[in-house]
Amino acid sequence: MRPNKYYLAAFSAFFIWGFFSLALKPLHNYPSLDILFYRVFFSVVLMVIINVVFRRNIMLQNWNHFKSMTAKQKQSVISLTLGGGVFLSSNWFVFIYVMNHVSVKAASLAYMICPILTTILAFFILKEKLSKWQWVAVLISAFSCILLSLNHFEDIFYSLITAATYAMYLVSQRKNSELDKFLVLTIQLVFTAIILLPFYPNYSGDLPTEPLFYGCLLVIVVFFTIIPLFLNLYALKGINSSAVGIMIYINPIIGFLLAIFYYDENVSSLQLFSYFLIMISIVVFNEKLIFSRKSKSIPAEIEGLK
């Protein structure tokens, strides 16, 4: 089985996320925590309905598979699934805050740093191997991020937090391969909603009444949450965390272009040069996929979605 469809899934996920600011920026007057509350709650309702109405057989198959596992396997699945929910919800909150209260460029910088952290974590935690050219790509990326962070210390602080939470999510979910990915995502969001629910009465603002809020939220839930997250988890079934991580650069490059041409944020020549280096690093990291006519087969044990 060729890994092309997994690369396409990863590319599609981060391409979609690159335009997230178009749906999120109109909500900049709403508190970040409110956006997080409603994003999670609405996502849970929609995903639970999809599972119950259209995927009951898959749910039953996964439940039977879970019951047949050893105690150690069950503990691993539960820890990875719920831990992934914590990393994901933390990433969402920080990203929403940075996007609406710091800058679009700072949010983009987070996903410049994320592939580097993902690659390093995957190397040490998952023992994923990298070629010398992939390490060269990582070094180019790291250098470009250093250039982007010059004279922007607040940006780099928030970017590091955002990047670290998503890098941990990617690495943890690479190992979480026992259950159906859509079901795993549903459980993670339900767990996140349970965590957030006690905070909602005391920390939420007034119930939004503007149609704009619910229109943007519907777009965020469907097109910028459920679809790209599923594509992201699907990609992790067939390619390693480092390869998925490097695809993250598609997201901030699109965000960076929007910051320049749509939001009219000031951009220096140094920043332009840094983004050019990052584009080079993407090509270098994926040089075998881009320049080789023959795609490598993925390990036999990696199959399609369970």
> So what's the pLDDT on residue 33?
82
> So what's the pLDDT on residue 12?
92
Instruction: Check: CB of residue 93 under 8 Å from CB of residue 24.
Output: no
> So what's the pLDDT on residue 146?
82
> So what's the pLDDT on residue 45?
94
The C-alpha atoms of residue 238 and residue 199 are separated, in whole angstroms, by 38
Q: Would you tell me how many other CB atoms lie within 10 Å of the CB of residue 303?
A: 12
> So what's the pLDDT on residue 72?
93
Per-residue pLDDT of the chain in tens (306 residues, 90 and over written 9): 455 888 899 899 989 988 988 998 898 888 888 888 998 999 999 999 999 999 999 999 999 999 999 999 999 999 999 999 999 888 888 888 887 777 776 777 777 778 778 888 888 888 888 888 888 888 988 888 788 777 767 777 888 888 899 899 988 988 888 999 899 999 999 998 998 898 888 888 888 889 999 999 999 999 998 899 889 888 888 888 777 877 777 887 888 788 788 887 777 788 788 878 877 887 787 676 555 544 444 343 333 334
Closest CA to 273 of 156, 146, 152: 146
> So what's the pLDDT on residue 302?
36
The C-alpha atoms of residue 155 and residue 116 are separated, in whole angstroms, by 17
Instruction: Quote the pTM value.
Output: 0.74
> So what's the pLDDT on residue 227?
92
Sequential DSSP letters for 200-252 = HHHH--SPP--HHHHHHHHHHHIIIIIHHHHHHHHHTTTS-HHHHHHHTTHHH
Q: Is 53 helix (H, G, I), strand (E, B) or coil?
A: helix
Is residue 151 left, alpha or beta, with left meaning phi > 0 and alpha meaning psi from -120 to 50?
left
The C-alpha atoms of residue 162 and residue 117 are separated, in whole angstroms, by 11
> So what's the pLDDT on residue 303?
39
Distance of CA 121 to the CA centre of its chain: 15
> So what's the pLDDT on residue 2?
57
> So what's the pLDDT on residue 292?
56
The tokens describing 42, both together, are 């609405």
Q: Is 13 helix (H, G, I), strand (E, B) or coil?
A: helix
Q: Would you tell me how many other CB atoms lie within 10 Å of the CB of residue 29?
A: 9
- Find the angle CA(117)-CA(119)-CA(123) to the nearest 5 degrees: 115
Burial (CB < 10 A; 0-12, 13-18, 19+), residue 227, is: middle
